[in-house]
Amino acid sequence: MKKPLGTFAFRIGTLLSAAAFSVLLSASKGTAVGFTVTDLGTLGGSESAGYGINDSGAVTGYSYTPGNAATHAFLYSGGVMSDLGTLGGSNSLGYGINDSGAVTGYSVTPGNAANHAFLYSGGVMSDLGTLGGSNSLGYGINDSGAVTGYSGTTGDAASHAFLYSGGVMSDLGTLGESESFGTGINDSGAVTGYSVTPGDAAWHAFLYSGGVMSDLGTLGGSSSYGYGINDSGAVTGYSLTPGNAAAHAFLYSGGVMSDLGTLGGSYSLGYGINDSGAVTGYSGTTGDAASHAFLYSGGVMSDVNPLGWSYTEGRGINNRGQIVGGGINPQGQYHAFLLTPVQVPEPNSLLLLGTGLLGLLLPLKREVAP
């Protein structure tokens, strides 16, 4: 007896839904083989660049305004780039963004008198002040709204890394006598950056935690610079190699600084790191023909330069694996970009899925046969 058509349709729908679920499972277990690229555009001028990204994919950076009259910090969210304005002067730039969408960076003050670190939250840009000097810049912000960066000290005698929290800007000191710069902060309040060493002999990457600034050393050369830190306290940046022959991106974890290598060229620099330890930055390609954004994950550095783009720099990476940066797009414009990972099923998963569907549909064919 022929099965009712409605029953057959229901069975087909159920089986295809199960098959679709299998595809989703396979995709979630697959590997990222590429990225989709989104050109974030500008605020009306010719140029933009992205520096910070949060876990929702919101981005901050800078863009020229119409007529290239000024550079302004922006917040890119939901497909729209919004101008964050300034502290009263002509220019501003966004560096860091947290998961609430709060942004830090720097802006020129009224009369273009100085650059000051800002915190943008709830539609308002607030001046974070200084450590007593003329200028300050904000670089990193955590989910509690704590900010790190650097500021001139009293009399502009030096620039020191700071931690801004609870309305107070605190001086983090240095590894040596004069200078330090804070660049990244995690949700525990640990800070990375770089500072002069005793005797102002060299610059070294540091990790500031529990009130102590620790020297992270180098890859064998004289200097190193820390830029990004994750919630486990792992740090990325770059260091000179032995003999100061080149600058290479590093990953500092468990007390060890590891060389991430290059994309075939002589140099690489690490800027952003997520909680899985994936790093982005940029590297020279073979023969130093160009600089390309990279993704370092699972012990491998991969070239993620988008098709048609050139001279790209990865600046930030979130916990979804999205990368933000800047580069020359196919139209020859330097624009901010957002790379979003594309997941595909493993080939054997597709074979198993096809075999399974065939096995499921053959019995159905017999059920509807006269």
pLDDT of residue 209: 98
- Provide the domain limits for residue 351: 1-30+345-370
How distant, in Å, are the alpha carbons of 5, 94, 103, 278, 353 from that of 186?
59, 18, 15, 15, 42
Whether 23 is covered by a domain: the verdict is yes
Whether 338 is covered by a domain: the verdict is no
Whether 349 is covered by a domain: the verdict is yes
Q: What is the pLDDT along the chain (370 residues), one digit of tens a residue?
A: 333 333 333 333 333 333 332 333 223 333 445 899 999 999 999 999 999 999 999 999 999 999 999 999 999 999 999 999 999 999 999 999 999 999 999 999 999 999 999 999 999 999 999 999 999 999 999 999 999 999 999 999 999 999 999 999 999 999 999 999 999 999 999 999 999 999 999 999 999 999 999 999 999 999 999 999 999 999 999 999 999 999 999 999 999 999 999 999 999 999 999 999 999 999 999 999 999 999 999 999 999 999 999 999 999 999 999 999 999 999 999 999 999 999 755 555 444 444 444 444 444 333 333 3
H helix or E strand, kind and range, residue 13: helix 5-29
The number of folded domains in the chain is 1
Whether 75 is covered by a domain: the verdict is no
> What tokens appear for 3 in the block?
């099965």
Of 217, 238, 315, 317, residue with least CA distance to 273: 317
Whether 352 is covered by a domain: the verdict is yes
pLDDT of residue 344: 58
H helix or E strand, kind and range, residue 155: none
Q: What is the pTM of this model?
A: 0.85
Whether 81 is covered by a domain: the verdict is no
Q: In terms of DSSP H, where are the helices of 244-327?
A: none
Whether 363 is covered by a domain: the verdict is yes
Of 55, 61, 152, 66, residue with least CA distance to 104: 61
Q: Dmax over Cα atoms in the chain, in whole Å?
A: 96
pLDDT of residue 268: 98
pLDDT of residue 348: 55
pLDDT of residue 254: 97
Whether 369 is covered by a domain: the verdict is yes
